[in-house]
Structures are given as structure tokens and as C-alpha cells.
Structure 1
Amino acid sequence: MINWKKNLYILTASLFIVMAAMTMIIPFLPLYLQDLGVTDSEQVSIWSGVIFGINFFSAFLVSPFWGRLADRHGRRLMVLRSGFGMAVVMILMGFATGPWSLFFFRLLNGTISGFNPASIALISTNTPKQHVGYALGILQAGAVAGSICGPLFGGLMAEILGFRAIFNITGVCIAFAALTVTLFVKEDFTPPKNEEKTSTWQDFKTVAAIQPIPFVYVIIFIIQFALIGVNPLVSLFIEDLSGGQNSAFYAGLAVSVMGFANMLASPRLGKLSDKKGAQYVLYGSLIGAALFAIPQAFVTELWQLIVMRFMTGLCLGGLLPAANTLIRQLAPEGMESRTYGFSNSFLFLGSMLGPMIGGMIAAAAGVRGLFVLSALLLIIGVFVMKHRVVPRLKQTS
């Protein structure tokens, strides 16, 4: 088996472990805050939102910095830095003494995180270009599978072992994944010689001058904002549709079915992007995501919502892998990781602002209004693809 396939399968398995471990804490984070002495329900809600979001905020700020280091010292090193760093921080979270210390550890975790983005950069730069779409689709499937399993495992183990023990288990799992990468993943990397030192802003101007990279960044932000922004509020919508019967189960089902569809579709759509062009897969997936987002605002039965979420998940499988494939194709030589670093900042910004602004919109216009906004944003993404991305790629080909 040639090295790029070996790297792909080992990193996919490692990413599954990391994403499962990282998402183990999601179901009980508000409950852990209560254990730390936050008893008022309003304060629990506020702290939960802040502690959840601060991780994305710090990751948004530092992603370009890690991208620059990766271009200078190798992408594998960034995977290991993130893996072992997060393992230590996750264990420390189990020793938090109050909400402020948990806040600090989540801030620190976002600063050193990036196992997933670093894995994407490593795979995309060490895979033959004709197979990059397929490889990124497989990697996405592993990440999504871990994200589906993590909350389930975390909820079950928290009931048996308690909240603090889960952080220790999470840290050990991430350390094991990083050790696996250390032992088995190889990178073909030649450090640049006599590279001119530039600022982050200069790097961004260099990357953004290459068309249509800035518009791909906009698409990535829209995807995260429109699709991730809805997720935290789906449970409220389901509670209304189900009449309060088994709401938690159906909320979990609605999230899981979307992730399961994403996992199924991403390798197939990745292979299709290698054959037909990543821009066309991204364009078609955006159209599909927009079309399936609109009916979700008007469903009257729970099964209708679950079906629409599944169909949206199928489209989601072609969005980020195709966008990352385009970035790999367009990135200037020697600046691949910096190009991904800026992309990750847009992704983290969407992940941070989506739930925050989505919550405000849901409070003002209801969750149905939030689905309408998501559809409108995705339609904007379709027009950006049609008029800015696809034509410019035709000009350069």
C-alpha cells in the first residue's frame, strides 16, 4: 500500500478517536457547570454559551499562526502539537474548580487545537492531486463518525463514572491518537530555504490575491454559519413538533441522522469531485442544501424534519471536502498550510457566530425563521459559486 493511503487510513482512524473524545463532553457541559457551583439556571445558560464559544474564538485567532508554522516545519508536527496539547488540557478540565477555570481551559484548548485542520492539510499535501477529493471525503467521514459516537459514549459514561472522569478518558484517547500518528504517519516535507519573513496580513493579501480563493472562504463561512447555527436550536423545534414526548431522543436522532448521511456521502462525493471537478460538486451540494433547508421551516410532523435533515446531511458530505479540495488546488506553492489556516479562521468564525446570532434570530422570529435564514444564506452561496467561483476557475483552467 503506497504511503498516501496508509497515512489516510491511520489519520482517519485517529481523527475518529479525537472527534469522539472531544464531543464526549458536549451532552453534560451544563451539568458539569452545576457541579462547579453554578446553580442559577440563567447563569448556567450564559456560562454554557460562553464556554462553548470561547473555544472557537481562540481557534479563529490563532489558525493563521499555526498555518505559517506548518509551512515552515511540516504539517505532521502540527497534528502532533495539537493532539498532545489537547490531551493535557482535556485532563486539566477534569480538575476545574469553578466556571472561570473551565473558561480558561476551553480558551487554551481552542488556542492549541487543530487536529482536524492539520490532518486535512497533511493529507491534501501528501496525496496525489487526482485523489485529493476522495482522500478528504474519507477523512471527513471519519471525523463525522466520531462526532456522532462521541456524545452517545460521553452521556453513557458520565452516568457511570461521573463528569470529571470523562475528561481524563478524553485526554487519554486523544493522546493515544496522537501517539498513533507519531508512530505510523509519515510526511514528505522539505523545509523552505531562505524564505522571506512576512506578517500574517501580508500572507493573507498574497493568498487573497489568487482568485477565487476569497470567495471559497466566504462559502466556507456560509456553510458553517447556516448549518451549524441551527443545530443548538433543533431540540427546541423538535420539542414543539413532538409535543414534549421523548424530545431528547428525537433531538439526538435529528442530529445523528444528518451526521450519518454526511458520513455516507462524503467519500462518494469526494471521488466524484476528483473526476468531474470539486467546484461542480460544491456548487451542486450547495443547491441541494438550500433546497432541503427551505421545507424545514414549514414541516408539521417530526418525521418530515428528520427526512429533510437526512437529505441536508447528504449534501453536507459534498460541501467542506470539495471546498478544501479547491483550496489545495489554488494554494500557492509553499503556502498551502497558511492558505488552510485562513480558511480555518473563516470556518471557526462561522462556528462561533452561527449559534450566537442564530439564538438571537430564533428569539425574535422563532426557529422556523432561523431555517428560512439558513436557506437564504445557502442561496447566496449558490450565487457566489455561480458568478464568482466557477467562471474564474474556467478562466484559469
Structure 2
Amino acid sequence: MAMFSLLRRYPALRWLWLIQLVSMAAMEMSGPFWTLHLQQHSGLRGTALSLFSALVYAGPVITAMLCTPLWGKLGDKTGHRWMLLRALAALVLTQAWLAICTDPFWIAAIRLLQGAIAGFIAASQAYGSGITQKAQRQPLMAALQVATAAGSVLGPLAGGLLYGQLGLAAVNWLAAALCLLCIPAAWFCLPDIRPPARSLTSVHEPQQPQTAWQWRDSALPGLLAGIVLIQSAKTLPQSYFALYVSEVLHQDTRFTGLAYGLTAAGLCLAAPLWADAFARWNQAQIRQRLVLLCLASATLMLVQSLWLTPLVFLTCRLLWGVLLGALLPVFYSLISAGSPHSAQGLALALGNSAAKAGALAGTAAGALMMLLIPLHALFYAVAAAYLLTAVCLLYLPVVQISDEEQQHLHFS
């Protein structure tokens, strides 16, 4: 596979892949347990618990969405290796601060700060792009995505084991230590790649007109709306998942970490297979498959809500991850294929913004539903969200490219 040949060719990319794996695993260790921690150690209940859960989960997404472009612009001037080191140092400091903090106001504030000053994934992608050729960007992004997904599997598993024995403070201390170990690895093993000076040709190059990229009769608005919908449904249960496992299923934190990680494992394993499949389908088949994937996700949420056996619940979590491995990459690929070359950056940036907006909407809706719906029935709401998404995809203009362009689609 191109991904493995790329890692073999560039030693720096192997180190970058390993650093991203370790740092992302460290950050995911505490992910499933914040609401449970706030309830057990801060005495929060009802509205207060919902509010602080939303701040802890959604706050870093908001601040990252606002601040990451600023760090990226600075990295273009100073070199993205320095942004990697800065982001790792920020993760060390904020995780250590969270380890010694018990006040819910400070926990929420630190999480907001963490989102604003970290931005490791964007820096990693930019650094990798600086040492590879344009033709190698797809396997590069695939490799970094696999590292992130693998970290999302390993982190909750380790976090669940440690949280059950020593609590969340120990989890945050370990996360800080792992990020600290990544700093010397990045310092000594990643060469400093300086941004190239802008040539006179690029300075005087005439700007291409953007009139060809019309919103009317374009699939882009539908694609962005589709991303918001699927990301909202995906993140809807995040605010209450740990509470659901603890109070409804009566399982311990190790089970929570396993269930949380299995979804990421399914996504990681299935994404390359979905890529090959979607590359063979025409635009009508793509819309049909997207709708079927949403219906299948709704079915899994309904089966999961029945709590037949622990094995059935965990199987549903794994299969849901398999389905998630298809949805978002397909939308990004359609955005790329349906936009002119001169607007690729803007189009994909809009796609990423839509994904963050969907994640925020889902997290906020999940926190609100904790007040309105009994805890044991909350996953029925997730099933309803996927049914709504399936209906919307029947009417949204999510595909509008020629069959000739279809052969150039890449889903990585």
C-alpha cells in the first residue's frame, strides 16, 4: 500500500506517525469520563452537570476552530516543526493542570485554553505536507488518520483501566507524561523544514477568477449540510455515554473504555475498504449508499438501546464504527471532486468547519437531552437523528458531478 511505502521512504514521517499516535492516545484517555468525573467529584447534578459537560466537551472544539488557523498561519512563517513542539508543550501543561484541578469552573476554563493553544493535528498535517510531494499527500493524510484512529482506540482502553483504579487525576498525569516524552522525539527526530521563500513568479501570478464556483446549481451547500447532520448524529451521545453505561447498563469504566474504543477501531479498520468500494460506484449509487448507511446506523442505535447482552452492545459499537468509516470521508471526497482546483482549499476548509459545527451541535443537543429525556431512552434520540439524516440526504444535492469525474474520486 502507498501509505506503508511512504512511511518506509521518509524516516521523519515514521517518527511523526508515532508521535501523533502517542499524543492522540494520551488526549483520548480522559475523553469518555469527564461527565462521570464532574458528577462524582464535583457534586454537579441536573442543569449544572449538563452545562459543565457541554463546556468540557464543546468548549475546546470552539476555541480550536477559532485559533487553529492563527497557529497555521504562524507555522507558515516560522516552520511547522515549531508548531508541533508548541502544541505538545501546551498539551503537557494543560493536562498537568487538569490533574491537580477539581473545581468545575477551572476544569472548563482549562479545557477551553487547551483547545485554543494546542492544535497538534493541523500542525502535524502541515509538517508532513512540507516534506512530501503533492502526489504523496493522500497516503500521508491516510497515515496520519490511522495514527489518530489508533490513538482513539488505545487511549480510552488505557484510560478506562486507570480511571477505575486511581481516578481521573492519574489519567491526566499519564497523559501529560506521554506528551512530554514526545517533545524530545520531535526535537531530535523531526528535521526543521523552513517554509520556502515566495518567488517573484508567484507574487505577480494573476489570480484566477472564482466565478466558476457558483453556489447556485452546486452540490457544495448540500454537502456541507450533510456533514453537519452526520457529525451531529455521531457526537450526540458523547455527553452522556459514560453516565449511560454506568447508571443504565451498570457496567464499570473498563467497559466504558472498551465500548468507546471499539467504535474508533471499526472506523480505522473499515475506512480503506469503504474507499475502494465508493470509488467503483456512480453518483446515484453514492447517494443510495449514504442513505442506507444512515438507516443502518439508526438500526444499530435501536439494537444497542435494547441492551440484550454486553456482547451485543459491544458488537453494535464496533459495527457503528465500521459505518462511520464511510460517511465523512465520502463527503470530503465529493467536495474535492466537485470544486475547481483554484477553490480546493476554501471548499475543504468549509467542509472542516461544517464538521466542527456538527460536532458542536451534537454535543450541545446531547447535553440538553439529558434534561429532557430519561437516561435509558437517550439512544433512541440518536436513532431518530440518523433517520432524519437519511431523509434529508434523499433531497439534499449531495452529488452533482459527471460520470467522467467520478473515476477521479479518492476516498482516503
TM over 0.5: yes
State the Cα distance separating 1:278 from its structure 2 match.
12
Question: Are residues 1:225 and 2:237 paired?
Answer: no
Residues 277-296 of structure 1, C-alpha deviations (whole Å, 9 max, x = no match): 99999868734531311313
- 1:101 is matched with which residue? 106
Report the alpha carbon displacement of residue 335 of structure 1 after superposing the two structures with TM: 8.5
Structure 2 partner of 1:141: 146
Structure with max Cα Rg:
2
Q: Deviations over 1:192-229 (max 9, x none)?
A: 46899xxxxxxxx9998697666554444333212122
Q: 3-state SS of the aligned residue for 2:326?
A: coil
Contact 2:87 2:119 survives alignment (8 Å): yes
Q: Which runs of structure 2 are paired with 1:114-129 in the superposition (5 Å)?
A: 114-123=119-128, 127-129=132-134
Aligned partners of 1:253, 1:176: CA distance in 2, in Å?
A: 25
Aligned amino acid, residue 109 of structure 1: Q
Distance 1:102 1:386, change over 3 A: closer
| SS of equivalent residue, structure 1 residue 387 | coil
Question: In structure 1, how many angstroms separate the alpha carbons of the residues matched to 2:356 and 2:67?
Answer: 10
Q: How many residues align?
A: 384
Mapped to 1, the partners of 2:105 and 2:66 lie a distance apart of: 20
Q: Is the 8 A contact 1:231 1:255 kept in 2?
A: no
- Write out per-residue CA displacement over residues 69-123 of structure 1, whole angstroms, 9 at most, x where no aligned residue: 3444444443333222222222222233622222221111010122123323444
Q: Does the Cα contact within 8 Å between 1:137 and 1:317 map onto a contact in 2?
A: no
Measure, in 1, the Cα distance between the counterparts of 2:224 and 2:389: 14
Deviation at 1:132, TM superposition (A): 3.9
Tell me if the contact between 1:85 and 1:113 (Cα under 8 Å) persists in the aligned partners. yes
CA contact (8 A) 2:29 2:158 kept: yes
Q: Larger deviation: 81-90 or 307-316?
A: 307-316
Long gaps (5+) in structure 1: 197-204
1:380 pairs, out of 383, 392, 406, with 392
Deviation string, structure 1 residues 133-185 (Cα, Å, up to 9, x no partner): 44333322221221222123223334555543433321221233344233333
Query: How much has 1:395 moved relative to structure 2?
Result: 12
Work out which of the residue numbers 12, 33, 56 in structure 2 matches 1:51. 56
The alignment's TM-score, normalised by the length of structure 2, stands at 0.73
CA RMSD in angstroms, aligned pairs only: 4.4
User: Which amino acid in the other structure matches residue 177 of structure 2?
Assistant: V
Give the C-alpha shift of residue 262 in structure 1. Answer: 1.0
Map Cα deviations across residues 39-62 of structure 1 (whole Å, 9 max, x no partner): 243344532332222111211222
Does 2:259 match 1:257? no
Gaps of 5+ in 2: 204-209
> Which residue is equivalent to 1:13?
18
Distance 1:253 1:167, change over 3 A: closer
Instruction: Identify which of 310, 313, 317 aligns with 2:325.
Output: 317
Q: 1:373 is aligned with what amino acid?
A: A
SS of residue paired to 1:230? helix
C-alpha distance 63-213 of structure 1, shift in aligned 2 (>3 A): farther
Q: Partner residue of 2:206?
A: none
Q: Which residue of 1 aligns with 2:172?
A: 167
Q: Distance in 1 between matches of 2:282 and 2:114?
A: 32
Q: Does structure 1 retain, via aligned residues, the 8 Å contact 2:78–2:194?
A: no
